[in-house]
Structure 1
Amino acid sequence: MENENNGHNRFQEKLEHRAQKTPQLKVLVVDDDPSILELLKTALTTIDSYNVTVANSAESAIDALEAATTPFDCLLLDIQMPDTDGIVLLRGIRALPDYSETPIIMLTAMSERSYVDDAFMAGATDYVCKPFDLLDLRGRMNSARRLVKERLKTEKSLRSVKILKQELENNQQFNFEDPLTIDDADRCLRFVEFDNYVGQLSRGRLFNSYAVAIKLQDASILYDITSCGCFRRVVHDTAHCIQSATSEIDCIFSYRGEGVFLVVVHEEMPSAEFPSEEKLNNYVSVMLRERHAAAWVHVLVGEPISMRSLSRSGASTALTRAVTSVGEREEELREKNSVLSGAEVAEEVTATGSTEPRKRMYERVLMELFGEESYLSMK
């Protein structure tokens, strides 16, 4: 009996020691409903031993942020609150240096798409409608924290020395498949936030939309023969071309890696207002002209794919079909050799049926722009 008690005590000590080593997560919950605040404080404290602070207004939330000795690890915000609503509060919090990447989950009764759009464009990490499931909410919070942890790990070098940020961005290595972040385009969501956005629309059955994929033609060749910094700038500038060309359209888009952007357009399909491939390339030509890149950057537009009344899995399938469509468009152009520039290059392609002349055209333009020595240092 004594051995059993000793064993139990040792097990209990290990649990307590482990609990002491695991830091408590600091969570701020903002809602004007006292019952919601009490429920979440009790549940989160019991389920995961979170250190929960509550605020019943945007003003008291700002006070809590300012009073905190260390930043909160996660925030849960309601939208409809007196005086200042949750969307305005979210924008204000995202402007604070300590909270530019902190997981912020909207926990609200507002399920209309306009609120979903506004929340994600203001910087929400995820969106949960009331009534909510506590285990689902816990899973969303944990997923958001893991996401931010990985982001901070990869961006640590960029944050540590602000004065070297541009140089580090130019030299930072990444894979062709990586979904780069476009921070300064209002309607361009990051990879996971875009998935969460589509998921929320699916859960609320708010789709009366279609998806279109836009792709940098021969993006893999461009990635191979330029530096990561150069490829990043082309992706960044192309995102701003898409933003400008679709400024009058109700849509959200995201860069998905491999030179591909996905656009979700909230209109009846097909929409005559969505910019044509020619119009988009006009924007590219004008915007990239300052970087002398317009001659060798070309975008392709896939077929519109309906997302109306789809489940989450169905929405994912529609997005995949949109990406497949623009890929087929690129293959079609390669076969027809119809997008190459210059008579000499066109003759080479006609004779060989190869895409290699396209690569040589890239290389020739780059050497003209940067000189042989500078160009070779980019490879």
Structure 2
Amino acid sequence: MKILAVDDNQLTLDLLSKLTGQLGFGDITTASSGEDALQFLGREGSPFDCLLFDIQMTGMNGIELCSLVRALPAYRHTPIIMLTSMTDRDYVDRAFKAGATDYANKPFHISELGARLRIAQQIIAARSVTTSGGQRADEAAQPLSHSVQITGFPSLISYDALGNYLLQLSKAGLAGSQVLAVKIHRIDAIHAKASPQEFAYALGEVADAISGALTTQNIMMAYAGSGAFLLVLGRTGCTSSELELEIQNLLDDKGTEYDNGDPLDLDVSIGNPITPRLNTTHPARDIFERALARAERRMMQKISQPV
């Protein structure tokens, strides 16, 4: 795995080079500023597989650098691990909204750094499998469980990044956070009828309705595949049923259609929220699966109710 590490502290770069080498990731290049990093990334040749950015740097900070790198086509999906001693939620939120995949806390612990790099390696391997078919994901029909690319929503991040975000919040103090899932009804039928572009459009409409219903909330969300969205947010002051109704009303007002003019009916269900308690090596997946199961049960209850 080819790594680029960016930090304005040479001692930190030296330490990172030593630690990554001990962890078996010896192919590392270092840069002392965001400007130098962009020069490395702009050069022709084999691209970097993983990027490590310090958040607090003089000049261009790591969050600004992350945002600029995500605009580069070659690095749209490259794992980006933020390096920082800052645990304030504002920093965490800004970093993930800028495109960060994960966090590694300073001072570095070799076990944690190794875990973050191995997760990045797994993301790279998984993406290699899903893109090895030869067709671009936005041009080919994808399985319903496939992670569809939805753009235009800063709070919408990848499933893997959302799990890492939840883990980082636990380290900073998770008081008041909750996890819930939004499930689209009849997603199999919608997926079967829609073109890839129409399906991505439908998902974008749901993401827009979720964002619209929670404009006053600090949320982070991810598309989990199979017509389901996962949300991490604070206490909303309303029940999941009330939130479900608000999102549904926004969707109904859209009058979404297929390209041929047929109505594209988008109905959703929301499960009861879960208060996360993270105490295992990979806790987020368990919490996410529970939230998805609750949304699925809610949907089945609504479908089985007589009209």
TM-score bracket, normalised by the shorter chain, equals 0.7 to 0.9
The aligned residue for residue 89 of structure 1 is: 65
Aligned-residue offset at 1:56: 2.1
Aligned-residue offset at 1:77: 0.7
Aligned-residue offset at 1:64: 3.2
Alignment partner of 2:172 out of 191, 204, 220: 204
Q: Deviations over 1:314-364 (max 9, x none)?
A: 6555433432332222222222223xxxxxxxxxxxxxxxxxxxxxxxxxx
Cα distance in structure 1, aligned partners of 2:273 and 2:264? 27
Q: Which has the higher contact order (CA 8 A, sep 6+)?
A: 2
Cα distance in structure 1, aligned partners of 2:278 and 2:24? 34
The reply to whether residue 325 of structure 1 matches residue 301 of structure 2 is no
Alignment partner of 1:217 out of 177, 185, 198: 185
The aligned residue for residue 8 of structure 1 is: none
- Equivalent runs, 1:103-252 vs 2, <5 Å: 103-155=79-131, 157-159=134-136, 169=138, 172-224=140-192, 230-252=198-220
Cα distance in structure 2, aligned partners of 1:97 and 1:54? 22
Alignment partner of 1:73 out of 46, 49, 56: 49
Aligned-residue offset at 1:47: 4.2
What letter is aligned with 2:109?
A: D
Q: Deviations over 1:184-222 (max 9, x none)?
A: 322111121111211222233334211222111232343
Unaligned runs of 5+ in 1: 1-24, 160-167, 339-379
Q: Secondary structure at the match of 2:138?
A: helix
The aligned residue for residue 26 of structure 2 is: 50
The aligned residue for residue 269 of structure 2 is: 300
The reply to whether residue 287 of structure 1 matches residue 263 of structure 2 is no
Aligned-residue offset at 1:310: 4.4
What letter is aligned with 1:132?
A: F
What letter is aligned with 2:249?
A: N
Q: Secondary structure at the match of 2:209?
A: helix
Who wins on radius of gyration, i.e. which is larger? 1
Distance 1:304 1:146, change over 3 A: closer
Aligned-residue offset at 1:253: 1.0
TM-score (normalizing by structure 2): 0.85
Distance 1:206 1:305, change over 3 A: closer
What letter is aligned with 2:306?
A: N
**RMSD between aligned alpha carbons?**
2.9
Q: Secondary structure at the match of 2:256?
A: helix
The aligned residue for residue 32 of structure 1 is: 8
Q: Secondary structure at the match of 2:67?
A: helix
1:91–1:123 Cα contact (<8 Å) kept: yes
Q: Which has a greater percent of helix?
A: 1
1:103–1:124 Cα contact (<8 Å) kept: yes
The aligned residue for residue 376 of structure 1 is: none
Distance 1:142 1:68, change over 3 A: farther
The aligned residue for residue 278 of structure 1 is: 245
Q: Deviations over 1:82-116 (max 9, x none)?
A: 12211001111111222222221111111122211
Distance 1:295 1:107, change over 3 A: closer
**Worse overlay, 54-63 or 65-74:** 65-74
The aligned residue for residue 77 of structure 2 is: 101
Give the count of matched residue pairs.
303
Cα distance in structure 2, aligned partners of 1:180 and 1:83? 35
Alignment partner of 1:257 out of 203, 225, 240: 225
Unaligned runs of 5+ in 2: none
Q: Deviations over 1:24-80 (max 9, x none)?
A: x43221112222111112232354262322222222322333456432222111101
What letter is aligned with 2:155?
A: R
- Percent sequence identity is 31
Aligned-residue offset at 1:135: 3.7
Cα distance in structure 1, aligned partners of 2:242 and 2:10? 48
Q: Secondary structure at the match of 2:143?
A: coil
Distance 1:269 1:298, change over 3 A: closer
